[in-house]
Structure 1
């Protein structure tokens, strides 16, 4: 009976989201022209969300280079990526949270999940706030990469480092026994990584989820749990970053978000099944190769 009610609730939510999306589309002056121009972004949203929610990395790894290719302004690249991720990462976070509650709430190998989120979510949001509202952040960005106009260089450099970290973590995924409890060093390491990842995410729309996931995997925690933590953390992080881009920067391309966001919701809902159906090692290896290629091609050597 309870299962039947839950299924009906899910169907109701999906139907409600579909109605809201159709309402937004039909409220536009030329809806059919929008579908013709931006409809294919739905596929981009699905792909980006599957990668993001199946690996713990932000969808910006897919969205940023694509929007750069379309010659979006640096501000619109990051802002639009954040808006799409708010859709996909939220769907993925809710899916992973439900999976944890249903399957692993009493699993000793998953007991670190709530504590890890408590240590990283507040510091990640603080990192985003520092990057977006502090003048020191702008000076730091200018010093490191020459400002926001060199976003492609920053993204390429970070992607290469991220890919190397992913490759380094792949052999560790063969473990059959995992850490169960956070230790003293994690009480310091996770907040620091959360803050640093929040700053990087605010600049590039990708960073904190994968950094935390790689750290937890290297520390010996359950791989699937590490991915779940990264996805839930990323959802909170991108939502904290959105108000700045929506009300201050005002650089979001909403037509793209309308379609890519809908695709991202679908991708976020099915990503969990991708993780559970395929080898995590192969999934990470493929994703690492993909990120490395994107990073190299984003640098000015090409």
Structure 2
């Protein structure tokens, strides 16, 4: 019996209770958007978007916003709706994904020297990222360019960096640097966390992507880098919950109604996908996707 099957059998009654409670709550929420049949027809496909976005976010460390924002832009969501809805969906999907990575760490890497800095990196980067995000929100810091241009340029640059690193990593396997943690790493993560939090407040993505890239370039374990990016991202976006789930929220709740559960499913299976396929191939595929969407969005704004 596989470990997953054993875990399900061991906790099946808790899982049944959780699924039942979630179904009841979802049905109650859906009843607020009658007629329900029309709501399914108009927004049902957002569940697929949630699954895809969460798989991408939690298997590569890049936020699901690189999937959600281009789609929302094509659907003519306002800037506020795009960012708020992306944050809200990530609260679902990246929570599920971060829990699977944390359990993976506890079950397989708690005493692994290649993962020795996981908790320290995560706590430091999360605190700094949250500080950066709320500094930006409190001071109403605006993006230097329009949201569409900023997102497009960020996506293209991110994709190019990931491809360049993937090609380099395939030629030069990560070895000694994995174990060498420098004080400069903590200084770098402090700066990356704060600046990444500001960028995340603008684009709904940023801190997780930059963290993953930095840790991989430094030679740390790829899975450690992804897990750190995912956990830091979800802790950052959850601090926006009072805004995004409040009375004056800009979240498109019909889209969230379907994308949220889809993101939970995607977040739960993302880690297995990341472990099943080579990180290089996974990153090359999604890098090509985000470069393409970035170019398309940039072309539409020119």
- For normalisation by structure 1, the TM-score amounts to 0.91
Is the CA contact 1:56–1:228 (under 8 Å) kept in the aligned structure 2? yes
Alignment gaps of 5+ in structure 1:
none
Query: Is 1:266 matched up with 2:262?
Result: no
Question: 1:60-100, CA deviations, whole angstroms, 9 ceiling, x for partnerless residues?
Answer: 00000000000111111111111111100001011111111
Counterpart Cα distance in 2 of 1:52 and 1:209: 9
Counterpart Cα distance in 1 of 2:195 and 2:153: 16
Is the CA contact 2:57–2:64 (under 8 Å) kept in the aligned structure 1? yes
Runs of 4+ in 1 over 4 A off after TM superposition: none
Report SS of the residue matched to 1:247. Answer: coil
User: Cα RMSD (Å) of the superposition?
Assistant: 1.8
1:16 is displaced (CA, Å) by 2.8
- For normalisation by structure 2, the TM-score amounts to 0.91
Is the CA contact 2:174–2:220 (under 8 Å) kept in the aligned structure 1? no
Counterpart Cα distance in 1 of 2:248 and 2:186: 34
1:176 is displaced (CA, Å) by 4.7
Partner of 1:118: 123
Is the CA contact 2:47–2:258 (under 8 Å) kept in the aligned structure 1? yes
Partner of 1:280: 279
Partner of 1:215: 214
Is the CA contact 1:153–1:300 (under 8 Å) kept in the aligned structure 2? no
Is the CA contact 1:112–1:180 (under 8 Å) kept in the aligned structure 2? no
1:20 is displaced (CA, Å) by 2.1
Query: Is 1:29 matched up with 2:34?
Result: yes
Counterpart Cα distance in 1 of 2:246 and 2:169: 43
Partner of 1:90: 95
1:279 is displaced (CA, Å) by 0.8
Query: Is 1:66 matched up with 2:71?
Result: yes
Query: Is 1:224 matched up with 2:220?
Result: no
Question: 1:203-240, CA deviations, whole angstroms, 9 ceiling, x for partnerless residues?
Answer: 00111111100100000100011101111111111111
Is the CA contact 1:111–1:181 (under 8 Å) kept in the aligned structure 2? no
Report SS of the residue matched to 1:299. Answer: helix
Counterpart Cα distance in 2 of 1:11 and 1:99: 22
Alignment gaps of 5+ in structure 2:
1-5
Query: Is 1:257 matched up with 2:252?
Result: no
Query: Is 1:17 matched up with 2:15?
Result: no
Is the CA contact 2:59–2:226 (under 8 Å) kept in the aligned structure 1? yes
Q: How many residues align?
A: 292
Counterpart Cα distance in 2 of 1:247 and 1:153: 29
Is the CA contact 1:132–1:244 (under 8 Å) kept in the aligned structure 2? no
**Counterpart among 127, 152, 172 of residue 148 in structure 2:** 152
**Counterpart among 143, 154, 157 of residue 161 in structure 1:** 157
Is the CA contact 2:174–2:219 (under 8 Å) kept in the aligned structure 1? no
Partner of 1:289: 288
Is the CA contact 1:112–1:181 (under 8 Å) kept in the aligned structure 2? no
Is the CA contact 1:42–1:260 (under 8 Å) kept in the aligned structure 2? yes
